[in-house]
Structure 1
């Protein structure tokens, strides 16, 4: 039974009841990290109080309970993504490590000099720098798909850029600056038609919409737990089984081995091949509970709610004279980036902070996109299902007050 999303849902999140600079907190930096519901916090404490033991390494009951909970979390992730196989779910530190695993563990061994990696200038640095590094080491060429004037991906140009030389298309599912949603299914079809693979940065998608890997037919998918109510330090890399077989592990040690001799070692099958050492057991368990929470709400319900809320916010922001909003006028993801004429975004964010409003300001780990927008930085408000119209109204009022302060002073 799915529950409805209402203003009362904030009560599930202890930190959202707090104050900042004496003002009731309005948290609008969800693209950076989300707040944690009490059920996740309770589960983390319960694990350490009642089940704390190392996984796989003991026949005693405590270790067996920890192992069972850890593997149950993997099953929850697989179900959440509709992944073909549970064994294709690799636990990592987060999206960044997942993408680096693909670049260094797969690309280094399987891509050849002269091949091309196709990206866009709207990528987060985590989905850009690893490919730059790989290109330099392997003699690969980076090719960029053009953006339309509203910041969306130009699919006609993608059709031109993705060709027989393409080894990989590396693209975000949702832009962390513009909120644009890329048609990764069409891009996957285009990549596969040309014998290429596709890796998708799902950090801003998995928390906000239903991701069906069987339907999308991607090759790699990565996301972070802390952006979807889970703890920090836990993330996921999903890849098709044959690709995992062709990947080399990057961390060597306990639990990722099959047999070890004095001079040779054979590796375990995925997922264990990529999870050397003691994993983030509590993080995985916490992520599993976060997935339970999101599943009960319903990912479709979350997306519909956020679409309505971001539409309301954009309409309100357009009332402010001198405010420029970046990205499509109509969008369904809850990320809105903007600048106020004559005011640096860091100054705007600082004055909003004094009013209890938390937004992000800077280049958002997307400097090439800032260059495309022809701005050094911007402010960003990013919504989640626990945000409300009242939060949006407070942001608008806060921006207007900030503008008046810098124009006239108090």
Structure 2
């Protein structure tokens, strides 16, 4: 049995005061904190093995290369890819989606084709497809959201059709906190001859993801949202599709031979990884995966669900507070977007920060969703496994105090 109260001690940043109050960090959908194990991995690389990978035969280069590729294997196991050739290191989810737009999209999307996304997508899963549609004369189509905050699967069955070339959907919404039916969407896409791309930024850190079981063609996620460093991420792709794609960045170890007027590329996965990669980031991401695997993703998912079961009814009991997305805790992840009547989200987040509670406020890089919901912005509290019920209580207390302040001017 994992003692999650003890795991909190692995995160030194949490033990500080903000505005003379103990920090309650509830902005995990934006980025997660790093355990000592990951910080040590970064420091160890730079202090002991700092060398470029794949290029040298000296000892430091060989150690760095071994650790870098060992992290790739850890990721392969973590998401159950068939082989490491299907695991590409990127700067993050955004980079992976842009690579797909530029490489796969430019090669295989034709004029008159359709690209399907949903109204709940992050900007990183909207703009690359907008740009691709503009370049190729394709049509961008959106799947609607039901009144209770779910992706409308019945409409998806109509929107995804024989003209669809690409379907790209978030596994978990970064605003509505809903888990989307990826397996059903994959089946719809494949039945219509389309490829399925999944934005997994909010899923991989919080639940067990098996890319073979999902049968997704591509799956992108970020290291910094799963206890890893910033600037490192992963794009998974099926080998047969990656082999048909051309790289969009050139130079460094992605090259096989360079002639005066043409060049050839290395085999997968290296043909996509131009220049000196984020070696330290990749190695530290491997350490983060070791850490998460030791806890167990099923355990993390169950614990976070316990926190949602605890905090969501308390939020729903606050008069004038509206939670967006599904209202049943069993359908809601630890991402909770809400507004307090009469208080702008930015003012609300500022007031909570004065109580030491860090939440996000704004459009959460989802402006089309805000427009769809007829909202200018929301506040958002997002939980991770190092949070606890005391953090939830502090959030509720701070919200009640803020409500009273804006009502009576007393805090």
TM-score with structure 1 setting the length: 0.99
Is the 2:183–2:215 contact (alpha carbons within 8 Å) kept by the matching residues of 1? Answer: yes
Report the CA distance between 1:384 and its aligned residue: 0.3
Q: Any idea what SS the aligned residue of 1:255 has?
A: helix
1:43 counterpart (31, 41, 44): 41
> Out of 83, 86, 89, which is 1:85 matched to?
83
What's the counterpart of residue 348 of structure 1? 348
The residue aligned with 2:126 is: 128
Offset at residue 408 of structure 1 (A): 1.2
Whole-angstrom distance in 2 between the partners of 1:298 and 1:16: 22
Q: What corresponds to 1:12 in structure 2?
A: 10
Residue 5 to residue 367, structure 1, CA distance change in 2 (3 Å): farther
Match of 1:400 in 2: 400
Distance in 1 of aligned mates of 2:107 and 2:281: 30
Task: Decide which of 289, 307, 310 is 1:309's aligned counterpart.
Answer: 307
Q: Does 1:163 align with 2:153?
A: no
Distance in 1 (alpha carbons) for counterparts of 2:138 and 2:15: 50
Counterpart CA distance in 1 for 2:166 and 2:306 is 35
Q: Map residues 180-195 of structure 1 onto 2, 5 A cutoff.
A: 180-195=178-193
Contact 2:89 2:235 in 1 (8 A): yes
SS at match of 2:175: coil
Kindly indicate whether the alpha-carbon contact (under 8 Å) linking 2:325 and 2:332 is maintained by their aligned counterparts in 1: no
Given the two structures, how large is their TM-score scaled by the length of structure 2? Answer: 0.98
Equivalent in the alignment of 1:288: 286
In 1, distance between residues paired with 2:316 and 2:262? Answer: 64
Alignment of 1:101-250 (within 5 A): 101-250=99-248
- For the residue of structure 1 that corresponds to 2:243, the secondary structure is helix
Q: Hey, what does 1:28 align to over in structure 2?
A: 26
SS of match in other structure, 2:38: helix
Q: How many residues align?
A: 408
Q: Equivalent residue for 2:385?
A: 385
Bigger mean CA deviation after superposition, 262-271 or 361-370: 262-271
- Secondary structure (helix, strand or coil) at the match of 2:221 reads strand
Q: Is the 8 A contact 1:5 1:297 kept in 2?
A: no
Contact 2:335 2:383 in 1 (8 A): yes
DSSP-derived class of the 2:165 partner: strand
From 49, 53, 56, the equivalent of 2:54 is 56
Is this contact kept in 2: 1:349–1:361, CA < 8 A?
yes
Structure 1 counterpart SS, 2:203: coil
Q: Cα distance, 1:107 vs. partner?
A: 0.3
Shift of the 86–25 alpha-carbon distance from structure 1 to 2, 3 Å rule, reads same
Q: What 5-or-longer segments of structure 1 have no aligned partner? A: none
Deviations 1:317-352 (A, max 9, x none): 012110000000122411000000010000000010
Give the aligned partner of residue 336 of structure 2.
336
**Equivalent pair of 1:116/1:167 in contact (CA under 8 Å):** yes
Question: Displacement, 1:382?
Answer: 0.3
* Superposed displacement of residue 309, structure 1: 0.6
Moved over 3 A (4+): none
8 Å CA contact 2:326, 2:332 repeated in 1 = no
RMSD between aligned alpha carbons? 0.8
